[in-house]
Amino acid sequence: MPQQAIDRYHDMLDDQIAADASADLYARLRPLGLYFGDRPLCTVIRPHFYLMDQWNYFKAETEILLTAFARLHAACLADTDLRMQLDLEAYEEHLFGVDIGNAVPWTTSRLDSFFVTEERKLFFVEYNAETPAGMGYEDVLSELFMTLEPMKQFMKYYAVQSMPMQNKLLAVLMRGYRDWGGIGMPNIAIVDWGHVPTLNEHHIIRHHFKQHGMNVILADPRHLEYRNGHLYKDDFRIDVIYKRVLCSELVHQMGQENAIVRAVRDKKVYMTNSFSAKLLAKKASLALLSDERNAHLFDSTQLAAIQAHIPWTRRVSERKTMYRGQEVDLVPFIAANRDRFVLKPNDEYGGKGVVIGWEASAEDWNETLQQALNASYVAQERVDVIYRDFPAYIEGKLDISPRFVDANPYVFDGHTVHGCLTRLSSVALLNVTAGGGSVVPTLLLQPRA
């Protein structure tokens, strides 16, 4: 059981060991780039653990569900009425078809979930199909934790395996480039705004790519030019865009005729993740999966996975729908049952605009629900969140206290799971971007004989 491993780890700690481990950790966070903006990325001194059989279950169930997402993506490309359920903006409807023809619209993605390992209860609450962050952070954190003294002692009792992801990231980028038609050694640009708090991770990934012989730069979209049939940052010709900037921000700030869109449209640069990846990045993609009117899109295995792992989710609108076998009038039902639901803007990130019904007043809930009717929101049923004890060194002593934990597996080529982002928080909204929480390395365990 993972609790036995956790207890073993905590039993090795005392005030002095915690002080030394914490000092060692904090001394190396800054030089390694393990900061989110100005905040240290990790504030505890234990990784998150999965036993191997737990991880294998997690991986297998996720990969079944990914086949349903892939089928949904293909159906949305072909069906205008189905796309309407996603509440696309006009520019999205215009751009999603620019890169049709590539086998995989996303090279990397990430599903965000809660996983109760003991009971094997697994619920996915969002699909980050556009710009999944955290792979570089996780890789470097894992390497750092392996050198901390508590982990060295712990590894006498457990075989510990990390899941490095940056090599896989580079491999899928290169495979996508070849499938797109690229030849030779490409020049890569990691493209995002120059002020984002994840800039440290972009530097980590650039360093890794450069170590593997790649020509790679960081580039702000505002500094790119499309000229003479190529995309440039100054004199650096770009063949591959590892896109970390959000499509919505790119288009809203720079218009639909910006240099990136023009180069992608003319097939002069390979970009990942593509514009059509945005279809499933909408919160409403989970509504499409779980809505009874779309059940015909999926086979029996996919429907079983959706039933087991996707919480009841609906785009907020005036309609009738099914809830646990009974027809309900959607808006009055959500209004009367705020303790069961979360309201989420369809196209935001970092927890922005999310209202948790059981933490909101009736007045705030109803106000948000009215706003949702005039904007684009989903209502999602409450799922069990996970608590785990984590140790930290606080005010001169060892502190072991519970934190919310989520489970966010990374997806490569749209179908293969490898690695996981684990976030901790003292509040129910687990999102580092939202201003709280911590990231810890995710490690696999096998007891030693």
Element (H, E) at 203: helix 199-211
User: Across residues 29-52, what is the average pLDDT?
Assistant: 95
The chain-wide mean pLDDT, for the chain, equals 93
pTM: 0.94
Q: State the pLDDT confidence band at 433, using cuts at 50, 70 and 90.
A: very low
The confidence score (pLDDT) of residue 436 equals 52
Interacting residues of 96 by C-beta distance below 8 A, sequence separation 6+: 77, 83, 88, 275, 276, 278, 279
For residues 236 and 250, give the distance between their C-alpha atoms in angstroms, rounded to a whole number. Answer: 21
- Residues 262-270 have a mean pLDDT of 94
Run of H or E residues at 399 = strand 397-405
Of the chain, the percentage scoring pLDDT greater than 90 comes to: 87
Q: Could you read off the pLDDT of 111-152 as tens digits, one per residue?
A: 999 999 989 999 999 999 999 999 999 999 999 999 999 999
Does residue 431 have a pLDDT over 70?
no
Residue 25 pLDDT greater than 50, yes or no = yes
Among 96-100, 274-278, 324-328, the minimum mean pLDDT is found in 96-100
Domains of the chain by residue range: 2-281+386-447, 312-381
pLDDT one-digit tens code per residue, 83-122: 999 999 888 988 887 866 665 678 999 999 999 998 999 9
350 versus 327: which is more confidently predicted?
327
CATH number of 312-381: 3.30.1490
- What are the distances in angstroms from CA 418 to CA 55, 73, 85, 187, 322? 10, 21, 30, 26, 35
pLDDT of residue 19: 98
Q: What is the CATH number that goes with domain 2-281+386-447?
A: 3.40.50.1760
Cβ burial 3-26 (10 Å sphere, 16+ → b, else e):
eebbeebeebbeeebbeebbeebe
Summarised one tens digit per residue, pLDDT across range 351-388 is 788 999 999 999 999 999 999 999 999 999 999 888 99
Question: In this model, does residue 228 exceed pLDDT 70?
Answer: yes
Between 400 and 274, name the one with better pLDDT: 400
Instruction: Tell me what percent of the residues of the chain surpass a pLDDT of 70.
Output: 96
